[in-house]
Amino acid sequence: MTNTFNIAGADGNVMVPVLSETGSLMAYVLYPDTTGTLQELYSCMSIFRESSDHSQRIPRHSSTLFINTSGGTLYQGTPFLHRNAFGCTGQLIINSQSKTKKMAKSASSGGTLPDRIKNDPAFERTRENIAEFSRAGKAAKLMRTIFRDVTINAKDKITQSRLVKVMSRIITTDPVNERGARTVHNGDLQQLQNFNFNVRAGIADSLFVRCPVNFNRTTGEVTVNIPVFIPRNMVQQARGTTHFRIVAAAAAINFDTEQYEYAMQGTPELPYNSDPTQAITLTMALPANSRDTVVAVLGIEYYQRVNSRSYALKSGDHNATSVVLVDKAA
């Protein structure tokens, strides 16, 4: 709150600040000080300034002074509320002891809020939003569950909320069902493409190698082709890294029933050095001719090898897993 001051005039009167219940300045009222006591108390905290028509004392400090209008007592420090403040005419201009107004209860507002949300026609839009938001939350949780083993070190604290946001957008693109009944399955699932489970790093930020991803729905195979590359040139180094590996996973997902088929494969741990790697193809077998949506992810994991034992590095800035394929059945 802005500090508020009493203003002492040369004629013996004082302008007293009137504060609201929240402590903010509402007005000043004229308070007579015929004895000059207040001006004496102000002498160490004010400066004298003259003008052509009047003189007054103006505070020079940020200390806050207040006056009890009923007793004329000077207070310094914590602001309080002036009760029953009077103007120069003797009329009551502010009565702070206002009574709390009670809202009249509407006859149509009976029942508890949960009951009204479930049954009141006025909450129809709310029920629709709740239903669709619930589906988005379940779809987001399903994605995290499916790809848990390749995202355990490649996620952030808001992965779930970011996924829910994407799933909610997907639901709104459902052209089949009415509002409140729209689903993830009927929406534009391509919006999942390039989703990064770790907001700080996507696969393109840590692995600078183009790895083509292919899916054959007839056979159910998902393949990731990793070409020859030099790790020191094409892999973003995490602090302490001696080895790394590239992982891929794919799943055929039914977002309506929450059933899925999952497959995962990764490279062996590769040394982080200047020696060229060998070309590698990662193959994941899913059910042939599946009518479910197929989602594939690609990630990178970092390790530090000590005495022939590898320790996973939980580098939140570089561990990455991203969606690289979304294929919806026609």
Q: What is the pLDDT along the chain (330 residues), one digit of tens a residue?
A: 445 555 555 555 556 566 655 666 655 555 555 555 544 444 444 434 444 444 344 444 434 444 444 444 444 444 434 444 444 444 444 444 444 444 444 444 556 777 877 778 888 888 888 889 999 999 999 999 999 999 999 999 999 999 999 999 999 999 999 999 999 999 999 999 999 999 999 999 999 999 999 999 999 999 999 999 999 999 998 999 999 999 999 999 999 999 999 999 999 999 999 999 999 999 999 999 999 999 999 999 999 999 989 999 987 889 999 999 999 998
Same domain, 151 and 273: yes
Q: What is the pLDDT of residue 184?
A: 96
Residues 75 and 175 in one domain: no
Q: How many CB atoms lie within 10 A of CB 285?
A: 13
Domain assignment present for 227: yes
Which residue, 77, 94, 111, sits at the end of a domain? Answer: 94
Burial of 245 (0-12, 13-18, 19+ CB in 10 A): middle
Same domain, 182 and 309: yes
Question: Which of 60, 94, 128 represents a domain boundary (last residue)?
Answer: 94
Does the residue 105 lie in any domain? no
In a domain, 113, yes or no: no
The answer as to whether 174 is a domain residue is yes
**Does a structural domain hold residue 238?**
yes
| pLDDT of 19 | 60
Q: Are residues 204 and 73 in the same domain?
A: no
Q: Is residue 2 one of the residues assigned to a domain?
A: no
Domain residue limits at 150: 119-327
Within a domain: 127: yes
Same domain, 75 and 164: no
Both 90 and 131 in one domain: the answer is: no
Asked whether residue 70 falls in the same domain as residue 128, the answer is no
Same domain for 158 and 303, yes or no, is yes
| CA distances for 317 relative to 150, 232, 239, 242, 289, angstroms | 16, 17, 10, 17, 38
Quick one: 66 and 175 in the same domain? no
Q: Which tokens is 304 given? A: 């530090």
Residues in contact with 90: Cβ distance below 8 Å, sequence separation at least 6, in sequence order? none
Which residue has tokens 């082709």? 225
In this structure, are 149 and 288 located in the same domain?
Answer: yes
- Domains identified in the chain, total number: 2
Residues 247 and 158 in one domain: yes
Contacts of 97 (CB under 8 A, 6+ apart): 83, 84
- The answer to whether residues 150 and 76 belong to one domain is no
State the DSSP code for 35: T
Kindly report the CA angle at 118 between 117 and 123, in degrees rounded to 5? 40
Boundary residue ending a domain (45, 61, 94)? 94
Is 114 inside any structural domain? Answer: no
